[in-house]
Structure 1
């Protein structure tokens, strides 16, 4: 029986790159994301690598949808060996311009989405005494950055979740790893939210970030996928990808 990996945020960017990399290493793949058409395209690409793929459209902020995802995965494959929590979105804005709805939305996806998948899969990990949980976090989960208060808060929460969960689960044979990318050159800007004093300020911030992701030092989705695979293969507890310090300074200058 092949090993299986469940990846959230799997329809594009880091999630897609990770799915293809694990497939090349012999894993069957469960794909979760909100966009069914893109998800099916990734599933087709996984199958082209000779592995099984199960695409389950899922909003990870909805615990009932996550429960359905996990039950569907277990019904199909019997077990999940690796969980890669990758779903999330970027929100930029000073606190005074960030409404409570935005706070709830970013926390529901970037933090609670991770809790939902972990809580759902943990019983079968504990029953087997094995498994890997990889939380893709961010440099924003270790370093405060101006105009990223809600995003950083959500990522700091995941860092605390990951570090504490590692202490709980290591004695039980379950790996918990934090992967911290810097800035990624991917299509995450499609869903990014920008808040500001007026439309001109919002547009300026968006253009600054669009220019920043083109910098030569910025990571690619494939770089993050390599880090995730390396972490699972070697049992690492933390991996830093790219140049987070450079990313932090660049974002601070851009503010």
Structure 2
């Protein structure tokens, strides 16, 4: 699919962060949107913004841990728009901190949202795709599907499982040439998800120097919907983590453990919170988490591009200097 005009796009986790940015990105391309999240009021706000961009939108409050609710989401999309062209499993959450320090139900909810939520979405979308003979399933996984994240054990388990699930589905459907199963692996993204997840560590989470904007992931969703690819990374840290863990899993695991322990040793205290795992937070609906604004840094995509230009200019300068010296001899 190269043209998204009038394409029917179902998007979970649409109320804030990457989902909100993605809804607006597809709206600007003329897609018809089916937006899902737990909070109707938050969905209505996003829907209004998308309608101002000219899109047709319906909202379907959905808890992705409930397979019946996810099936109702698919039914609503077919009832109102007649088909589903793109289904995006974007809802996600996590628990940060020592595994044994969080209530077990928070770990179970993490797996239920991230892994089972994606499985429920696929279970609802694939029969529609098979009936109509086409469709693209996009699942937002994160670099946590490629390399283990210490102090986020349940999150890592869910994301490793989600990557394996989508890879298996892709091969099941390989003979259906117009049905695509795609996975997106963002690096660290500046979203409200850092506040919506649970944090039982007692330490403030530091997103690090390379933080991508939600819009960077949203534009990747758009690109994958137009030009389906099996697995797509957003940001070079995600691709680097994939390569490192594939080539040297042991050293990569140990280095990540050392880095996270040192970061926690230096981190400032923070209150322990269970975030929005059990109940949605009644907070401001935002696309950005505000981390870049607080620290005065641009999106890592812009920062990386600037570093690339600087490195390229430096290389040209060195080459020119060497050429001048060679001629002077």
Q: Give the TM-score taking structure 2 as reference length.
A: 0.70
1:170 counterpart SS class = coil
Report the counterpart of residue 221 of structure 2 in structure 1.
228
Q: 1:164 aligns with which of 149, 168, 183?
A: 168
Report the counterpart of residue 152 of structure 2 in structure 1.
148
Q: Distance in 2 between matches of 1:216 and 1:93?
A: 21
Q: Distance in 1 between matches of 2:227 and 2:262?
A: 36
Q: Residue 51 in 1 paired to residue 55 in 2?
A: yes
Q: CA deviation at 1:58?
A: 0.8
Q: Distance in 1 between matches of 2:106 and 2:64?
A: 16
Matches within 5 A, 1:6-25: 6-25=10-29
Q: Which runs of 5+ in 2 are unaligned?
A: 242-254, 265-329
Q: Distance in 2 between matches of 1:94 and 1:105?
A: 16
Q: CA deviation at 1:252?
A: 5.7
Q: CA deviation at 1:241?
A: 0.7
Moved over 6 A (4+): none
Report the counterpart of residue 179 of structure 1 in structure 2.
184
Q: Is the Cα contact below 8 Å between 1:46 and 1:53 reproduced in 2?
A: yes
Q: Distance in 2 between matches of 1:148 and 1:216?
A: 20
1:217 counterpart SS class = coil
Q: Distance in 1 between matches of 2:260 and 2:223?
A: 28
Q: 2:115 aligns with which of 86, 89, 111?
A: 111
1:45 counterpart SS class = helix
2:190 counterpart SS class = coil
Q: Is the Cα contact below 8 Å between 1:87 and 1:110 reproduced in 2?
A: yes
Q: Residue 134 in 1 paired to residue 145 in 2?
A: no
Q: CA deviation at 1:187?
A: 0.6
Q: Is the Cα contact below 8 Å between 2:95 and 2:107 reproduced in 1?
A: no
Q: CA deviation at 1:254?
A: 2.0
Q: CA deviation at 1:158?
A: 0.5
1:171 counterpart SS class = coil
Report the counterpart of residue 199 of structure 1 in structure 2.
none
Matches within 5 A, 1:88-103: 88-103=92-107
Q: Distance in 1 between matches of 2:138 and 2:8?
A: 14
Q: Distance in 2 between matches of 1:6 and 1:253?
A: 41
Report the counterpart of residue 198 of structure 1 in structure 2.
none
Larger strand share, 1 or 2: 1
Q: Is the Cα contact below 8 Å between 1:40 and 1:55 reproduced in 2?
A: yes
User: How many residues align structurally?
Assistant: 243
- CA root-mean-square deviation: 1.9
Q: Distance in 2 between matches of 1:74 and 1:107?
A: 28
Q: CA deviation at 1:152?
A: 0.3
